[in-house]
Amino acid sequence: MTPPLLASALDEFNSNDLGYVLSGAGVVNLPKTKQAKIELWLELVGDPDRIRRALAKLTPPSRRALELLQGIDADVRTERFRSLLLRTGVVTAEEMSPYGGYSSSRKAPAKIDPSKPSFSETLEELLRSGLIWTHTLSEHMPSNARLSFDGGRFVYIPREVAQHLPPAPIKHHPLPAVTQTLEGSARTCQRDLYLVWSASRETPLQLTNAGLLRVSDLKRIAGQLLMAEDIAKGTKESDYRRIFFLRRLATELNVLDFNAPANLLEAPASPNFISQAPPQRVRLSFQCWRDGDWWNELLATMGSSTTPSNALLVAPAPAGVASARRVVLETLARLAQQAEREQRTPAAWVAVDDINDYLRERNDEFLVDRATAEQRARGYGYRYSYSYSSLYSPYEYNSLGWNWAGYQNNEEAGWNGVERVFLRTVLTEGLYWLGLVDLGYPAPVTVESSAAPPDLVAVRLTDMGRWLLLDGPQPEVPEEGGRVVVQPNFRIFAFDPISDAVLARLDGFASRQNAERAIEYELSRDSVYGAQQTGQSGAQIRAWLEQVTGAPLPQNVARSMEEWQAAFERITVR
């Protein structure tokens, strides 16, 4: 939320404690009234010299806590700030102490690690310094209570102070050595989307009652893709995440139409998407994934020991997944820009650990919120200053509605098993499959399927990725220079680089045989008859082929097409 005006937040604060803040700033003769104290502090709070003196007095833990708070744009719940300082080792945990109601004289809980300050001690030091402030009474405090150095529900750095603070350092791990790179390819992704459409045009794809591809259709598609996969016995579509991704992406982009009564996926005759220029197709694909609820990276957090139900596999992702995905993308973009400056190259590697740490220190609720668990705990009378997360874990109670009960008592394991897995999945699924990042590994890896191997240490934006995430120059994708050749044996070959729109037109009257280096089609009476039924004439097909090949058709092919057209017209007349 947006913090209130500082004057309003000061009005919530205890007058005597505000006097201590003024004394710490060097005021000798304190004003008598609270309003006078507020007015004096409003004059002093943004003074650069005062801020420098206050910074110099901070203990190292409090200075680090301030730097972490700088990384958060607005105010933050005090409990979230406490959790952040605990996870980063700035403060020690305190023994849990439930109580009812508000009491300013309660005894401080014992510290687990006496060598470190407690959160309460650090919070008080920062508030006394006047470098941060607090606002909003706790729910269990009476309405006439006033805030003190134990803080309210939120803490923040006043803008009067923030503008004079030195930038908070960004934590960096040493850049890992990348010895093997798996290159992302937007061209491969787009060609495979075309091939999914082509396969469904040949024969519509049958879905099971569970919403997954029938195994025979799964095998048919898997064998035709540029990144082909072998379908093992006893498996299903969701076991092959890239195929599952492409098929669902194609449906969302209207490259495939869902025939609900027949439970079929059918290919429209000429989808608008395939006629787009390649960069625009990549952009549309990226936006469809980035903002969509049809893909759910949370499934990867379930682990190999848990099998999601078919209903969960095809269900829309919780609302928070798309927003969390965007946060990961924004963080990657920010760190990629910094890496490019530091490494002085547009092809800069970004360590996965850096992305992870940036999120954990600056936006640890990007995926799993803590407010839901905190609200539940407050209902049972646990004040924010104490560690009740072991009773009400965010990995059990959260706005996503997902339960990771195995992490109830271990937030470190929870982060590594949920948020970090989610982050890695965003990088290695959508971003990689769309061709927007390359994946970096510290040692040679064996690629057995389209799934990325484990042990990923870094990612690097491709030219397409820099265009879409960093607003870099739009890459040029050659669509000309390839050839279409019609042979006397009625075989048609399309050689790259060639537009998928040309291939889609060929699909309209010829049967595709393969999609290897040269994409092969067969022209037959049946394939032309199918085109004639959609309104294309033999003369139109012949004219188009001669245009794209730049040569007349072989005489026997031209003669056969004339005969097929005449036969079609006789059938039509009758």
**16, 226, 203: which is closest to 213 by C-alpha?**
203
Q: What is the pLDDT of residue 303?
A: 78
The residues pairing with 259 across neighbouring beta strands, listed in sequence order, are 264
The residues pairing with 494 across neighbouring beta strands, listed in sequence order, are 484, 519
**449, 424, 467, 450: which is closest to 281 by C-alpha?**
467
CA–CA separation, 504 and 190 (whole Å):
13
- Environment class of 127 (CB within 10 Å of its CB; exposed 0-12, middle 13-18, buried 19+): buried
Q: What is the pLDDT of residue 510?
A: 83
Q: What is the pLDDT of residue 389?
A: 47
Q: What is the pLDDT of residue 480?
A: 61
Interaxial angle between packed helices 78-87 and 119-129, expressed in degrees from 0 to 180 and rounded to the nearest 10? 120
Instruction: With residue 205 as reference, give the H or E element that holds it.
Output: strand 205-206
pLDDT digits (tens, 9 = 90+) for 459-490: 999 999 999 999 999 988 766 667 888 888 88
Q: What is the pLDDT of residue 484?
A: 84
Q: What is the pLDDT of residue 443?
A: 93
The residues pairing with 49 across neighbouring beta strands, listed in sequence order, are none
What residues in the chain have per-residue pLDDT under 50? 97-106, 381-390, 574
pTM (predicted TM-score):
0.79
Q: What is the pLDDT of residue 98?
A: 46
What count of other Cβ atoms lies within 10 Å of the Cβ of residue 360? 18
Terminal Cα-to-Cα distance of the chain (whole angstroms): 74
